[in-house]
Structures are given as C-alpha cells and as structure tokens.
C-alpha cells in the first residue's frame, strides 16, 4: 500500500465535508498518511455531472489521494476507474458502506453487503478498468464533450499546485501511468453483524486494502462503533491485505486503543477532524510513540490568530473552487472551527449567518 509505514492513519471520506478545500487544509496544517475524496457516483461521473467532477478536484499535497466511487453497475465502474486513473489519482476506493436510502435503494453502498456476488463483480470490473487504462491509456464510455473535462481538471490541479506551493512527498506525478490499487470501504453488516461471512467474499477478489467501519447499515451513525466486530474482520482477513479500522476515533489515545483492540494495520478518522485541519499535525510523532510503546503525543492546538487565518483561507479557497453560492456550505465548517471555544455562542451565530468571505473577514477582524 504505497510506501506508508504502518500503522496507516488517514482521513476518511465524507460526502459534503471532505471536498477539495477541506482536504487541502487538512493536508496543509497536518499530514494524513492517506486522503480520500467524497464518494462519486459512477454513472454520474461517466455522464459528466458538473458537481461530481468538482468532487474530484485535488491538490498534489494530498498524495497519496484516493478517489472513492459508488454505484451498483459493474460496467460503469469499469469506465469510471479509467477516468480516475486518467485524472492522476493514486488509488480507487469502492464504497460498500453508505447507509443513505437514496444510495441503498439502488443497490449501492452498504446494500452491496446483501449482494456479495455483485460486489465481487464490481471489484473485478474496477480492477479491469485500471488494468486496461494502464496498458492503453484509453478512457472509454464517455462522450467527447465530457472527455474535454480531463485536461481542464489537470490544468486546475497544476494551477493549485503552483499557487499553493507547499513541500510534499511525491508518490506519483499523476501524469505517468501506474497501476492503481483498488480498495473497498464497508461496514460490519446490513441489519446484523455478518462481518466474517461478508469479508470472505471480499477475500476472493483481493482488494489492495479494506476499511471496516464498525457499524451495520441499520445503525447509521448512532451508538458506538463496534471495534470487536472490526477485530473479527481483521482476523478473517488474516494478513492477506491491510485492514483499516474506522469509527469513533477522535483523539490520538483513540488511535492507540483502536489499533490495540482490533489489531488493524491502520485507521481512518472522519468526524474527529471536523473544524480541525491540524488533527494530523503530530501524527508522525504518534506513529513513533506507538512503535516505541511510549506515551502518545499531545494533539496540536493552534493559536486563535492562526486559527482565524486558516478559517479565512479555507473559506476563500472553498469559494474559489466552487463559486460564491457555495459559501453556505462553508458555514458548517466555520461553526466546527469554534466548537471548542468556550462562550463563543455569539461568534458562532455570526459565523453561521455570514454570507460571504467579505463578511467573514469583518467578523474575524
Ligand atoms: C457527513 C458524512 C459523510 C460521509 N460520506 C462518506 C462517503 O462519501 N464515503 C464513505 O465511504 N463514507 C462516508 N462517511 C462515513 C465516514 O467515512 C466514516 O466511515 C464514519 O463517519 C465513521 O467514522 P468516524 O467516527 O471517524 O466519523 C460519511 C460520514 C459522514 C458523517
């Protein structure tokens, strides 16, 4: 799995949250070992939905950066995988865990736990798409006007890279062909825990790694993630590929606990990073402490002036990438940034009612 030193500690995909600006700042202020995009529907991608292509904007600092796809149509995974390769991503992840009814009623996301043969075929077709693209460089199944988006996306990435020059380690230039790993992210069951049986199906198609969120579909995001169930998944995989444990990891102590409990090779952190692009700042020290068996380091807390600057920069990049109307999406991030500040009710109220970067500048002045 790339050349990441275990345990892998990465940023989990979150639709409506881990967009390009969120990922950019999470990788600038800290450095997750791996970053995932929001999930993108395979048919929408092939048909050129503008919003979906926006979800696949990324910056080179995020590398290794993995594009996540969802759907229930293997033939579209084949074509979508080629697009992901051509856009210069470092991996393709398949969502088999989303519990949203709009997704599962079409047989996608966590519904695939109930149709394991279809899930297997999706992995095979995705891998075939990656392999065919690697051999031929051809993108198929999309119309010419959509194909024209690909060089535009690459140019946008270069523009971002040049303007926001920050040191980073190259995993790939994104312009030369490499055989991308195909991974899966899933849950421990549909309405009950069936993780062992389910994982056995996935073993047959050998994903490059597997992320297991310790909840069933029925649990949505409620209750505690079941780390015992994740441990069962790790046991079933039995070292054939890395497993990343996911769910309710909020602090560095949690990282240590989940890894000890599940014996997984890493973890992905989702909601714990809300309003905290500094979450991964001390992650390398954390990994060293875990290896040495010494106490985990403190998490980083920025000064208020530094936090304000990041909030403003985040809002500016968000609007630049998605347009002025998208400012409303930024409000939740602003509220999260101040969620741990005591007596900040008035500030929070102003932030969630703000309508533009200019207003934000005034509020934070
Ligand atoms: C708002 C939101 C959006 C999410 N979108 C995705 C997604 O697009 N793809 C995915 O695999 N998981 C998605 N998830 C699930 C998270 O990646 C993660 O599995 C879950 O939140 C549990 O981890 P956590 O407790 O660290 O947040 C989403 C979760 C949330 C809260």
DSSP string for residues in 243-302:
EEEESS--SHHHHHHHHHHH--SEEEE-GGGTT-TTTTTTHHHHHHHHHHTPPPPPPP--
CA count, 13 A, side-chain hemisphere, 365: 7
Q: Which atom of ligand 1 is nearest to the CA of 246?
A: 23
Tell me if residue 129 falls in helix, strand or coil.
helix
Distance CA 347, CA 339 (A): 10
Given a cut of 70, the residues of the chain with pLDDT beneath it are 1, 163-175
What does the pLDDT look like over 294-341, one tens digit per residue?
999 999 999 999 999 999 999 999 999 899 999 999 999 999 999 999
Distance CA 110, CA 299 (A): 33
Q: Whose CA is nearest to atom 28 of ligand 1?
A: 14
Ligand 1 geometric centre to CA of 12 (Å): 6
Residues spanned by CATH 1.10.1200 within the chain? 304-364
pLDDT reported for residue 1: 63
Under CATH, which architecture does the 304-364 domain have? Orthogonal Bundle (1.10)
Beta strand pairing call for 91-96 and 65-70: parallel
**Cis, peptide link before residue 7, omega less than 30° from 0:** yes
Q: Which residues pair with 253 in a beta bridge?
A: none
The reported pTM is 0.96
- By CB atoms closer than 10 A (0-12, 13-18, 19+), residue 66 is buried
Ligand 1 geometric centre to CA of 361 (Å): 30
Q: Who's near 78: CB < 8 A, 6+ residues apart?
A: 125, 126, 128, 129, 132, 141
Q: Which atom of ligand 1 is nearest to the CA of 213?
A: 19
Distances from the Cα of 198 to the Cαs of 70, 85, 108, 110, 188, in angstroms?
A: 18, 28, 15, 11, 8
**Cis, peptide link before residue 2, omega less than 30° from 0:** no
Q: Which atom of ligand 1 is nearest to the CA of 248?
A: 25
pLDDT reported for residue 54: 85
Q: For the domain covering 8-292, report its CATH number.
A: 3.20.20.70
**Among 26, 30, 185, CA closest to 97:** 185
61 touches 35 (CB < 8 A):
no
The answer, yes or no, to whether any atom of ligand 1 lies below 6 A from the CB of 249, is yes
pLDDT reported for residue 164: 64
Across the chain, what does the average pLDDT equal?
93
The answer, yes or no, to whether any atom of ligand 1 lies below 6 A from the CB of 39, is yes
pLDDT reported for residue 167: 42
Using only C-alpha atoms, what is the Rg of the chain?
A: 20
Residues spanned by CATH 3.20.20.70 within the chain? 8-292
């Amino acid at each position: 799995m790339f050349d990441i030193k275990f345990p892998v500690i990465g940023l989990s995909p979150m639709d409506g949250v881990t967009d390009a600006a969120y990922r950019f700042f999470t990788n600038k202020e800290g450095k997750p070992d791996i970053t995932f995009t929001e999930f993108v529907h395979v048919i929408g991608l092939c048909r050129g939905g503008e919003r979906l292509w926006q979800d696949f904007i990324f910056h080179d600092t995020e590398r290794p950066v993995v594009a996540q796809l969802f759907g229930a149509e293997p033939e579209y995974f084949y074509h979508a995988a080629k697009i992901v390769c051509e856009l210069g991503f470092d991996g393709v992840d398949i969502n088999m865990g989303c519990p949203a009814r709009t997704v599962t009623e079409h047989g996608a996301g966590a519904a695939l736990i109930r149709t394991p043969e279809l899930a297997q075929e999706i992995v095979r077709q995705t891998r075939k798409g990656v392999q065919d693209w690697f051999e031929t460089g051809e993108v198929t199944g999309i119309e010419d006007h959509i194909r024209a988006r690909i060089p535009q996306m690459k140019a946008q990435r270069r523009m971002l890279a040049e303007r926001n020059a920050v040191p980073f380690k190259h995993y790939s230039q994104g312009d030369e062909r490499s055989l991308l790993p195909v991974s899966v992210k899933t849950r421990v069951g549909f309405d009950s825990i069936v993780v062992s049986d389910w994982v056995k199906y996935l073993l047959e198609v050998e994903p490059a790694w597997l992320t297991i969120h310790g909840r069933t579909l029925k649990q949505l995001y409620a209750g505690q993630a079941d780390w015992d169930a994740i441990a069962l998944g790790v046991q079933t995989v039995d070292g054939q590929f890395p497993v990343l444990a996911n769910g309710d990891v909020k602090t560095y102590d949690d990282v240590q606990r989940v890894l000890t409990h599940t014996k997984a090779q890493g973890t992905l952190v989702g909601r714990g990073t809300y309003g905290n692009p500094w979450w991964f700042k001390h992650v390398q020290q954390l990994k060293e402490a875990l290896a040495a068996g010494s106490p985990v380091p403190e998490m980083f807390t920025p000064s208020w002036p530094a936090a304000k600057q990041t909030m403003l920069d985040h809002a500016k990049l968000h609007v630049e990438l998605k347009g002025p109307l998208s400012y409303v999406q930024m409000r939740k991030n602003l509220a999260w940034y101040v969620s741990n500040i005591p007596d900040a009710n008035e500030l929070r109220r102003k932030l969630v009612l703000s309508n533009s970067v200019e207003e934000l500048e005034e509020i934070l002045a």
